[in-house]
Every structure is written in C-alpha cells, then in structure tokens.
Amino acid sequence: MAKYIFPEGFLWGAATAAYQIEGSPSTDDRGESIWDRFSHTPGNTWNEENGDTACEHYSLYREDVKRMAELGLNAYRFSISWPRIFPAGKGKPNLKGLDFYRRLIEELHKYRIKPAVTLYHWDLPQALQEQGGWGSLDTAKYFNQYAAFIFENLDLPVDRWITLNEPWVSAFFGYAMGVHAPGLNDFNTALRAAHNLLLGHGMAIRSFRDVNRENEPIGITLNLNPVQPFSDSKADLAQAVRTDGFMNRWFLDPVFRGAYPQDMVEIFSRSYDLSFIEEEDLTITAEPIDFLGINNYTRILVKAGSSEDDFMGNPYNPPEAEYTEMGWEVYPRGIFDLLVRVHRDYGPLPLYITENGAAYDDKLQNDGRVDDSDRINYLHGYFLEAWKALQEGVPLAGYFVWTLMDNFEWSFGYSKRFGLIYIDYPTQKRYLKDSAYWYRDVISRNGLEVKGGS
Ligand code: IFM
C-alpha cells in the first residue's frame, strides 16, 4: 500500500459562494445583486433558473455545518454577500446581514472548522451596476469601503481572508462575453473592469493592514490554467504564450510584479484603449499579500489562432481524453504543472487550491446513496498531483474542494452538480455522496492510500 501523506496542519476544506447556496434573496433586507437581475432576465440561464431558493443555506446553515463536521473538514471557504451588508452597495450598513455571517462563523468554530472568507464572489449590488459596475473606478472604492467595514466589524476570528474570487471571470465573462452578470459584450469595458477589480483588491489589502487582525492572512483567488501548445510549431508555441498572457499573467503580474505583462500590453493596445491604467495604480494592485488562492479544474490545449494578435487561440479538446459534465478535460497533471510554475515564477508565498472539483450527472438512488466514483477518480488524480508538487518544494498549504453541496451553477442553473453532498432540490434534503465518505477518509488519514501504488 503506497501512502501519500500531506504536511501536518494541511487544510482540507470545501468551498461555496453566497449566491450559489444561500437563497433568501430579500430576507433581512438583502439588496438586489447583479446575479438576481441577470438570472431573472429571460434567456440568460438554463431553464430560466435563478438563486432565489438555491440550497436554502441562509436558513439551513446549522445543518450544513453539521454535515461539514461529519465529513471531517477542518476548513470551509464561503463568501459574504455584499448586498446583504450594503443593500445599495454603499451608505448605511445592514447589521442583520452581518449577523448572519457572525452566526455562521460561530457555528463553524463550535466544530473547529476554520473559516476562509471571500469578500467578493460575483454578487455585486445592482445599484452599483447602475452606475457602471466594475467598469467604474468608484466600484473599487466602494468595494474597499465594504471590505473595511467587514474587517472592522466582523469581530470573530477568521483564519483566512480572500478579497476576490476569479476576477478574470468577473471581468471577461461578465463584461466581454455576456455569459455572466451583468451580461455585457464590450471588451474595452472588460479590460477596465479587470483593472478596477485589481485596484479594489489592492485597496482592500491596504485597509486590512490598518486594522488590528493579527495572525489572519489575506490573499486573492485567481482562476489559473496551465496552457499548452497543441504542437511544437512556432505558431502554436507563440499562441500558448499569448493565451497564458491573457488567462494567467494578466492578473498574476500586476499582483506579484506591479506591472502588466509587456507582450500583452502591446497586443491589447493595438485594438483597445488602455489609457485608463495609471502607473501608480500598479503599486496598489501589487500591495503585498500573504498567500495566493488558485482555482483550477482543467488545462488549456491551444492551436494557433488567426493572427499574431489573437490572444484566445483555438482551444483543442483531445478526443481520447475524459471530460466532466462541464465539458472540461480531466487532466490531473495540470495542477502539478501549474503549482510548480506559479511557485517558480511568482513565489515564495504559500499557495492554496481554493477550488478544484468536477460536475457529473449524479443520480440519487432509492436507498439514498449517490455513487459518484467518477468524482472520486477525478479528485484522487488531482490530490495525487498536488502531493507531487509538495515533493517538489511547492508550499501548498491547503485544498478546498469545489463544492460542499450541489448548487446554482451560474448560467447553467441547477443542471450541473459539483457537490460532495447531493441536494434534492424539491425537498431540500441533503445526501452525502460516495465522494463525501471517500473525502472523509482522505482527511482522517491526511492523505491518500493507493493499493499496489508506487
Ligand atoms: O461554480 C463555480 C464557482 O463559483 C467559481 N469557480 C468555478 C466553479 C465551477 O464552475
């Protein structure tokens, strides 16, 4: 039996996001978010679904924390809904909203589960969208005010803070591709949004350093993908560099190096206006952080696009590969490559996998069992590669599976199930899937055991 044991104190968690699980969209005076507006607009989501009910976590959170304890999680990553705290995005705070997160954290502490709090996981107050949303610098300033309010008033220990979740997705899915809220199709605005998100992040880090929250590290979560060329041709190799520049370096470089990558600045400026970037902005985006959160699900294998300015390229899905229900290639080696690369190029900070997991077409059996061996295989493969990265000296300190329970998968509505826990939406009953029991064993051993493995 080969054993792959993780370092002592390694965080084994699961992650969620407010809009995807909470439901109760107007309870305790929550304001409207861009996701309420977007998902209630016909044509935007699968089956016209929205987060109005989701997993009813707002009322069932105690039961959910109990399930986390049953799984043996030692950490839980969740997000705070900005419109619960500032229903109009700014102005007078809503203390009833804050109280919910206080109660949730108290409950987590009861079971010794460490809270990792994300401040922004895509649910911008709609009132701020009316004023330009992330396309406007004011939104960064209001985000900072909201963040500072939380740092000062959420008076319970928080183990880790994360400013933003996946700003690439917020900016480009939301403002350029129109598939996420607010549903815009304007690449210039998306570039601005990306920049303002990074400014909001840096401002919030500064505010955090001004409050007395000792031993509470703070970082950012980026969605990163290893990018590989389809072939060794010059064109494919150059494409992989550009796609990496757009997908990864456009965020990593301003956060870690205080500069946008020069090759991408040249490409973007040939078609778009980057004059909004002020030099001193980059000292804000590069405000030192304590760790980096990485969300990774797959790799990008890319063929050259139509021109040397094409920063997307043509993604290629090898027919022999396995895919999840999202159509994402199962490629465990990618997480090794990514961790080693990020540490080599942007180290030495601790890294966390703040999301990794897979959607499958899970079925609830009559006996209440959910056989999701494909998810177990997926996670097993990714955990093993993460372990290998640790052996290469990568300071990986924790792993959060996406996601605790099936939930509202944005434009896919409830059609994609990523959870360790199955939600029967009509009854709101929770069922631990086989992967949840398997994960419980991994956590209790602090690693993997592989029969006949080497
Ligand atoms: O559900 C999302 C999550 O909100 C952000 N990262 C990717 C997940 C799966 O698509």
Check pLDDT > 90 for residue 13. yes
Best mutation site among 39, 81, 166, 224 for ligand 1 pocket (most ligand atoms within 8 Å of CB): 166
What total number of domains does the chain contain?
1
Tell me the percentage of the chain whose pLDDT exceeds 70: 100
What average pLDDT score do residues 66-81 get? 98
Check residue 452 and give its pLDDT.
Answer: 73
Check residue 339 and give its pLDDT.
Answer: 99
Indicate whether residue 355 lines ligand 1 (CB < 6 A): yes
CA of 280 to the centre of ligand 1 (A): 32
Long-range CB contacts for residues 268-271, cutoff 8 Å, separation at least 24: 268/191, 268/311, 270/309, 271/187, 271/309
The model's pLDDT over 341-350, given as tens digits with 9 standing for 90+, comes to: 999 999 999 9
Q: Look up the CATH number of the domain holding residue 216.
A: 3.20.20.80
SS3 for 8-51 is CCCEEEEECCHHHHCCCCCHHHCCCEHHHHHHCCCCCCHHHCCC
292 phi-psi bin (left φ>0, alpha ψ -120 to 50, beta other): beta
What average pLDDT score do residues 130-154 get? 98
Cα–Cα distances in angstroms (integers) from residue 447 to residues 115, 204, 328, 453, in the given order: 21, 35, 25, 14
The model's pLDDT over 374-390, given as tens digits with 9 standing for 90+, comes to: 999 999 999 999 999 99
* Ligand 1 atom at minimal distance to the Cα of residue 121: 4
When pLDDT is cut at 50, 70 and 90, the band that residue 453 belongs to is low
When pLDDT is cut at 50, 70 and 90, the band that residue 402 belongs to is very high
Catalytic sites, residue numbers: 166, 355
Indicate whether residue 253 lines ligand 1 (CB < 6 A): no
The mean pLDDT value of the chain amounts to 98
What average pLDDT score do residues 315-337 get? 98
When pLDDT is cut at 50, 70 and 90, the band that residue 11 belongs to is very high
Indicate whether residue 330 lines ligand 1 (CB < 6 A): no
Check pLDDT > 70 for residue 358. yes
The model's pLDDT over 425-434, given as tens digits with 9 standing for 90+, comes to: 999 999 999 9
When pLDDT is cut at 50, 70 and 90, the band that residue 212 belongs to is confident
Indicate whether residue 123 lines ligand 1 (CB < 6 A): no
* Ligand 1 atom at minimal distance to the Cα of residue 409: 1
What average pLDDT score do residues 419-442 get? 98
The model's pLDDT over 167-192, given as tens digits with 9 standing for 90+, comes to: 999 999 999 999 999 999 999 999 99
What average pLDDT score do residues 413-431 get? 98
Atom 10 (ligand 1): residue with closest C-alpha? 409
Check pLDDT > 80 for residue 57. yes
When pLDDT is cut at 50, 70 and 90, the band that residue 59 belongs to is very high
CB 227 within 8 A of CB 247: yes
Check residue 262 and give its pLDDT.
Answer: 98
What average pLDDT score do residues 393-404 get? 99
Atom 1 (ligand 1): residue with closest C-alpha? 409
* Ligand 1 atom at minimal distance to the Cα of residue 17: 4
Best mutation site among 122, 402, 411 for ligand 1 pocket (most ligand atoms within 8 Å of CB): 402
Of 344, 401, 221, nearest to 293 by C-alpha is 221
User: Structural domain of residue 42, as residue ranges?
Assistant: 2-450
Indicate whether residue 295 lines ligand 1 (CB < 6 A): yes
Atom 2 (ligand 1): residue with closest C-alpha? 409
Q: What's the half-sphere exposure (Cβ side, CA atoms, 13 Å) at 362?
A: 31
Tell me the percentage of the chain whose pLDDT exceeds 90: 98
Q: How far apart are CA 127 and CA 130, in angstroms?
A: 5
Check residue 286 and give its pLDDT.
Answer: 98
Indicate whether residue 107 lines ligand 1 (CB < 6 A): no
CA of 221 to the centre of ligand 1 (A): 12
Global pTM? 0.98
Best mutation site among 410, 411, 414, 417 for ligand 1 pocket (most ligand atoms within 8 Å of CB): 410
CA of 409 to the centre of ligand 1 (A): 7
Check pLDDT > 80 for residue 454. no
